[in-house]
Amino acid sequence: MNFVEELRWRGMLHDIMPGTEDLLKKGMVSGYIGFDPTADSLHVGSLAQIMTLIHFQRAGHKPYALVGGATGMVGDPSGKSAERNLLSEEDLQHNLNGIKGQLEKFLDFETGDNSAQMVNNYDWFKGFDFLNFIRDVGKHITVNYMMAKDSVKKRLEGETGMSFTEFSYQLVQGYDFYYLWKNNNCALQMGGSDQWGNIVTGTELIRRKGRGEAFALTTQLIKKSDGTKFGKSEGGNIWLDPAKTSPYQFYQFWLNTGDDDAKSYIRIFTLFDKETIEAIEAEHDAAPHLRTLQKALAKDITLRVHGEPGFLKAIKSTEFLFGNTGIEFLSELNDDEVLAIFSGVPNFTISTAELEAGVPVTDLLAAKTTIFPSKGEAKKMIQGGGVAINKEKVGTPDDAYKTGNLINNKYLVVQKGKRNYFLIVTE
C-alpha cells in the first residue's frame, strides 16, 4: 500500500514537502501527529487525523501519537478557548489514559517494528527551564523566520497582537518535532492543513540545530458542504466516548449526513476500498431515499468506535423511535442512554407523589404537561386512537396512569400520532 496515493484517492491529502514520497518508498518511516489532551475523550474532529495514522501504519510505517501534556498544562495561550483550560497533572494523566484507550481501538500497539506508540511532550519539557529553552531552541528560530509564516505575521500585526506565550507555544510545537526526530527517529510530522506552519518550523529547527532533514505532510481540513463546521451538533461536540455521546447519537450524526458530505466522508472515515465505495455510491444513486450511503457510513464508523454492542444499541434505539421495537427495550438502557434517545424531544416532569395516587390521562396530557393545548383536544385524539403511552394505545379518556406504569421506575413515553414523541420524567 502506498500511503500518499491512499490519501490522494480518498481526497485527504492537502500538502506535502518535496522528498516525502521518496522517503516513504525507501522503507519503514516513523511519523507522528499531535493530539490535544484537553478532555478524556477525542471527538469526531480528531477522526481524520486518526485515520491518517491508520493508513500510515497499514502502509508499513510506524505511527506516533503525541499528546500535548506540556501544552495542555499551559491551556490556550491566546486565552480565547473555553475548551482548552489549564490542566493539573492529575487531570492531564486522566485525559491521557482515556485518549490512549480510544486510540487502541484504531491503531495496533503490538504489531512488531511498526507498532503504534503514544508519547507525551510533558515527559521532555518538565525538566526544561526557560533559559535553557531560549538558549537551545529560540536562537535557532528567529523572529524574522516566524514573521515569514503568514499566520504569525497576521497575529503580530493584528489589533490584538501576539503574546509572548503564544509565540513560545509555536516554538514548543517545533521543538516536539526536533525531539522526536532526535530520540525516536521520527522523520515525518503530519497534521491538518492549518498546522503546516508549525510543522515546517519543526523541520527548520531540525535543519538548523540538528543538521538533519525531516519532512511534512498535511491533510485537508474537514468541512461540511454548506460551509458549517464539521463535528458539531446542536448539543456540542460529537465525542468518541459513549458516556459523552451515546452510540445512538453518534450513529444518528453520521446517518443524517447529506449526500454530498456522505460521499466525501465515506472515503475519509472508513477503510472501504475504492471499488466498494463506488459500488455503494452506485446503489445509493439508484435509490437515494433509501440512504444506502449514509447507512454504510454510519454502520462502519459506529462499529469501529463503539463495537458491535454499541452499534446494535444504536440500531435498536433508531428502530424504537422510527420502527416497531417495543417499550421493553428501554429497560436495557441506563438513564443517560434513555435521555440521549429523547434529546430534542419535548420533556416534561411530574412528581412521583402525584402519580402514586393516579393521574387521569387527559390531565396528564393537557394539565400536567402541554402535550395537548386542552383536555378536549386530548380526549378527541384518544377517542380516535391517535395517542399511545409506552407504545400502547390509550384506551379511553377516562384511563389513569400511576407509578406502576413507569418505565425504569421513571419514564412515560407519549406518542401523539406515529412520529411525535414526548417524554415525561418523574422527580
Whether the CB-CB separation of 295 and 322 falls below 8 Å is answered with no
- Give the C-alpha separation, 99 to 95, whole Å: 6
Q: 3-219: which CATH number, 3.40.50.720, 3.40.50.300, 1.10.3760.10, 3.40.50.620?
A: 3.40.50.620
Residue with cell 402514586: 356
Q: What is the pLDDT of residues 88-130, one digit of tens each?
A: 778 888 998 999 999 999 999 999 999 999 999 888 888 777 6
- For residue 372, is pLDDT > 60? yes
Is the pLDDT reported for residue 159 higher than 50? no
The pLDDT-based confidence of 363 (bands split at 50, 70, 90) is very high
pLDDT in tens, 177-194: 999 999 999 999 999 998
Q: Residue 168: what residue type? A: S
**How many Å separate Cα 348 from the centre of its chain?**
30
pLDDT for 317:
86
* CATH homologous superfamily, domain 232-333: Tyrosyl-Transfer RNA Synthetase (1.10.240.10)
Residue with cell 468518541: 240
Kindly report the average pLDDT of the chain as a whole number. 87
The domain defined by 347-426 folds into: 3.10.290
pLDDT of residue 404: 92
Distance CA 344, CA 339 (A): 9
The three three-digit cell numbers of residue 190, written as one number: 503530519
Buried b (16+ CB within 10 A) or exposed e, 30-65: bbbbbbbbbbbbbbbbbbbbbbbbbbbbebebbbbb
Answer yes or no: is pLDDT of 229 > 90.
no
On the question of pLDDT at 152 being above 60, the answer is: no
Could you tell me where in the chain the CATH 1.10.240.10 domains are found? 232-333
Residue 18 neighbours by CB under 8 Å, 6+ apart: none
Cell 429523547 found at: 342
Q: Distance between CA atoms of 107 and 51, rounded to whole angstroms?
A: 9
**CATH 3.40.50.620 domain residues, the chain:** 3-219
Query: 387-389 and 392-393: which strand pairing?
Result: antiparallel
Q: Where in the chain is the domain with CATH 3.10.290.10?
A: 347-426
pTM (predicted TM-score): 0.82
User: Cell digits for 354?
Assistant: 402525584
Helix axes 196-209, 150-157, angle to 10 degrees: 110
